[in-house]
Structure 1
Amino acid sequence: MTTSNRADMLRDMTRDLLLAGRLWRKMAREAAARHGVSEAASAPLIWIDRLGENVRQNALAEAVGIEGASLVRLIDELEASGLVTRRPDPNDRRANSVSLTPRGREVVTEVNDDIQRLRLDIFRDLDLADIHAAARVLDAIKLAGGRQCQRPDPGHSTNG
């Protein structure tokens, strides 16, 4: 493979990653909407299920990858829909913890089941080696993104 060929392939791959991400979000949004949940609100709902009962809001925001203020709006939406409860954290009254209601558990199970069926359908023709290769590509991007986030801004002095 020539360098320009590799460069062209990498350019096309990153373009396709963006497109695939948008398409995946659209399909996931449709799966969540079938259960009366917005795509944005489905992420915290699923993460509460994964992290367990009484999840601190700051831990949930980190897991979802959004700012605390954005999460508050989504929790408001989920709470108004009767899918989660929010209470002061018993160990730190300055913090809130969030839990699924029984209805929230039902909905998250239904959404997870639909999304799992979607994954199995989309990736049915991929063998394990393909899945591992795709995971390595995504890991490279996440690793580079972490390095980018940790780099100081060259135009900003940290000396005061």
Structure 2
Amino acid sequence: MSSHSFTPREQFGVTFVDLARRWRRALDHSLAQTGLTDATWAPLVRLHEAGDGVQQKELALRVGLRESSLVRLLDILESNHLIERRTDDADRRAKLIFVTEAGRTAVKRIRKVLARVEGDILSDLSDQDVAAMLHAFARIGERIQPILDDAEHTA
């Protein structure tokens, strides 16, 4: 048995990863009724937030996936008639992604479930607590991005 006590900074990464996994499992469980997993509902919601006509490359950046991984997820969303891909008139090699009416309906259902589940999870935190966490996450995200960019260039 270890007698070492860890500082908050030493505990942060492991705790954050564990929390993120459990958060995703809770959301996936609650979203099972929509027929979508985190892998598919997250890109659909991000695309809806971005607006129609987003290039696959841009969406991949927004959801933190490699473009090749995103293509498989888009295939699933397209086969379920939630999105459609169209050739970009400005660049015939590129595809633009659009949310269909069925996709917009799915996003509304997803958002409703997310609001309920996240409301339950965050119920004992104040709006200021949540805002402070979001601010801290944004700062952490800014520090992570250069590491990811470097990994992309060396991969």
TM-score (norm 1): 0.82
My pick for the range that moved more, 21-30 or 68-77, is: 21-30
Cα displacement string for residues 50-75 of structure 1 (whole angstroms, at most 9, x for unaligned residues): 01112111111111110110111000
The number of residues matched between the two structures is 149
Query: Who is 1:145 aligned against?
Result: 144
Q: Describe how 1:60-99 pairs up with structure 2 within 5 A.
A: 60-99=59-98
Once the two structures are aligned, what percentage of the paired residues are identical? Answer: 30
Cα displacement string for residues 80-127 of structure 1 (whole angstroms, at most 9, x for unaligned residues): 111111111122211001111111111111011111111111111111
Asked if structure 2 preserves the Cα contact closer than 8 Å seen for 1:31 and 1:111, the reply is no
Query: Who is 2:35 aligned against?
Result: 36
CA distance in 2, matches of 1:60, 1:36: 21
1:8 partnered with 2:7: yes
CA distance in 2, matches of 1:65, 1:87: 22
CA distance in 1, matches of 2:81, 2:103: 7
Alignment-mate amino acid for residue 18 of structure 1: V
- Offset at residue 147 of structure 1 (A): 4.0
User: Judging changes above 3 Å, is the alpha-carbon distance between structure 1 residues 51 and 9 closer, same or farther for their aligned structure 2 residues?
Assistant: same
- Offset at residue 20 of structure 1 (A): 0.7
CA RMSD after TM alignment: 2.2
Specify the structure having the higher radius of gyration (Cα): 1
Query: Who is 2:133 aligned against?
Result: 134
CA distance in 2, matches of 1:53, 1:39: 21
Unaligned runs of 5+ in 2: none
My pick for the range that moved more, 87-96 or 133-142, is: 133-142
Query: Who is 1:119 aligned against?
Result: 118
1:49 partnered with 2:48: yes
- Offset at residue 9 of structure 1 (A): 1.9
SS in 1 for 2:34: coil
Unaligned runs of 5+ in 1: none
User: Judging changes above 3 Å, is the alpha-carbon distance between structure 1 residues 147 and 98 closer, same or farther for their aligned structure 2 residues?
Assistant: closer
